[in-house]
Structures are given as structure tokens and as C-alpha cells.
Amino acid sequence: MLHRHNTSRCQSPPASGSRCPGHVKSALSRRDALQTASAGFGWLALGGLLGEGAFAGTSPRPPHRAPRAKNVIFCFMDGGPSHVDTFDPKPMLARHQGQAIGEGAVSKLSQSNAGRVWLGSPWAFRPRGESGLPVSDLFPRMANVADRLCVVRSMVGIQPLHGQQNLLLHTGRIIGQAPSLGAWVSYGLGSENRNLPGYVLLNNDWVPNGGLENFGSSFLPASHQATTMRASGTPVDNIQPSDPP
């Protein structure tokens, strides 16, 4: 039977078989309550499933904010060619080629500059396209599409340590604990299909300095963190149940 009692008059749990003062006996047993409510719970569950099916239709999910872009592809080339050899000419390096750097010349470096010399790029830079964007001879084909490129030179690194600098680039903080760039893009653009991730990571199981926080969602919902995909082996982890039904 279902029972209720006045807790304000019952200072300690009643002994087995006893009743608290003010106890009121209900005419509805636990079994009756479950039988009566089961239909209601069942219809609630069915309604939720039908709602999921209707929501997962072909119409795109509305984004959190009106986007100006449709997709974002971010190529993080850890260990790739230097900016001074690709899109960022440094005439001063060419003028001081081979000269000693000297102590204190670059104060933010963590190691000593003793015995080090300035080194300019071995590739020449030329203005490309109608915009005149300087692109080095290292990228002759990319130079043909210079007018479709946007080169940002105002962003600089402030950390000599690779891990902290990677986190700063991906999350805006040197200690992580913030949503990654991909998570914010997923949050802003949304996803057209609830059954597919809005943010995928193609890294072939390689994790850069700074760890997986470079691709995490932090305080955003976990659905906005990166889903790792591979070109070989198991494309996506945990796509199948671990135990057979």
C-alpha cells in the first residue's frame, strides 16, 4: 500500500511495523499505481520517439546564429612550412642574413641566442594576382589563386612552448579549458543532420602538443566536440555496440 505521514511530527524513522503520528493510509497500492501509470508513461515514450522521427527529417536544423559561412575547413599543419617561407615576407631577415642575433634581440625565446644567426627565406616572394598578395616561389600553383586567399598577418604567437601555443591557437587560452575553434563553429553554424557530427577531425590518431583539448567543447555541449575519423582501419570509434544484443 502507498503511505504518507506527517514528517514534522515524526522526529526519527519509525520502527518496522509501526506508524508515525498523523499517518494517512492510501487506498491505492504500489501495484495499482504502476499499472495505472504505465499507459501514461508508455504514451509519453512513444510520443517522444515519434517526435524524434519528425525532428530528424530532411529540413536543416536552425543554427544558433545566422551564419555568413556554410562550412569551415581548418588545416592545422603542425610542423609545416614557416610563414616566412610562404606568405609572410621578411625583408629584414634578408638584410641581416648570416649576422649574429645577439643576446636580448628576441626576449621571448626560452633558449639562449648565443651562436645563432639570422636566416632569411631561400625562396623569393613575388606579388600575385590583381591584389598583389606576396606569395613565395614555394607555392607556384597556389599563386594562381592569390585573389581567392585571405592572409592574416596580425595574429602572432606569445608562447615559446608548443603545447601552450597550440592551445592558444585552438581555444584562445594557453591552459585550455575553453571551447575549441571547431566547437564554436559547430555551435554557431549548427548541423543539418542530428545523426551526423557537425565537427569532424581528420588526424589519423595523431594528437598535437596540448592534447585533445585542442579539439574539445569545454563548457559547450559535448555534441560540439570533434569526432575523430580515420582513412584506414576503424573509421570511427564506438560506432557499433561493444556487446551483441
**Residue 125: beta bridge partners?**
136
231 and 190: one domain? yes
10 alpha-carbon distance from chain centroid: 53
Helix axes 181-189, 162-171, angle to 10 degrees: 10
Q: Which of 230, 214, 220, 105 is nearest to 165 (CA)?
A: 214
68 and 43: one domain? no
37 and 157: one domain? no
Angle at 133 between CA 130 and CA 134, to 5 degrees: 135
Q: Is position 113 within any domain? A: no
Residue 42 is predicted with a pLDDT of 60
15 and 71: one domain? no
Could you give the residue ranges of the DSSP H alpha helices within 21-87? 30-55
Tell me what percent of the residues of the chain surpass a pLDDT of 70. 67
Question: Residue 202: helix, strand or coil by DSSP?
Answer: strand
12 and 70: one domain? no
Q: Is position 235 within any domain? A: yes
Residue 198 is predicted with a pLDDT of 84
Q: Is position 49 within any domain? A: yes
d(CA 218, CA 183): 9
23 and 69: one domain? no
68 and 41: one domain? no
Q: Is position 209 within any domain? A: yes
Q: Is position 101 within any domain? A: no
Q: Would you mind telling me the total number of residues written for the chain in this entry?
A: 245
Which grid coordinates are listed for 39?
499507459
Q: Which of 81, 80, 91, 64 is nearest to 188 (CA)?
A: 64
Residue 19 is predicted with a pLDDT of 60
163 and 47: one domain? no
Which grid coordinates are listed for 21?
503520528
Number of helices and strands (H, E) in the chain? 4, 6
Q: Is position 158 within any domain? A: yes
Residue 240 is predicted with a pLDDT of 76
CB 203 within 8 A of CB 240: no
Residue 57 is predicted with a pLDDT of 47
Residue 191 is predicted with a pLDDT of 76
pLDDT tens digit string along 132-185? 999 999 999 988 999 999 998 888 777 778 888 889 888 988 887 899 999 998
Residue 99 is predicted with a pLDDT of 86
Which grid coordinates are listed for 99?
649576422
Looking at the structure of the chain, the number of domains it has is 2
Low-confidence ranges of the chain (pLDDT < 50): 1-8, 55-59, 107
d(CA 87, CA 143): 10
29 and 72: one domain? no
Question: Residue 19: helix, strand or coil by DSSP?
Answer: coil
Q: Is position 103 within any domain? A: no
Residue 180 is predicted with a pLDDT of 92
Which grid coordinates are listed for 45?
515514450
67 and 35: one domain? no
166 and 202: one domain? yes
Cα dihedral 138→143→149→152 (10° resolution): 40
- Domain extent for 9: 3-55
d(CA 45, CA 51): 10
Q: Is position 123 within any domain? A: no
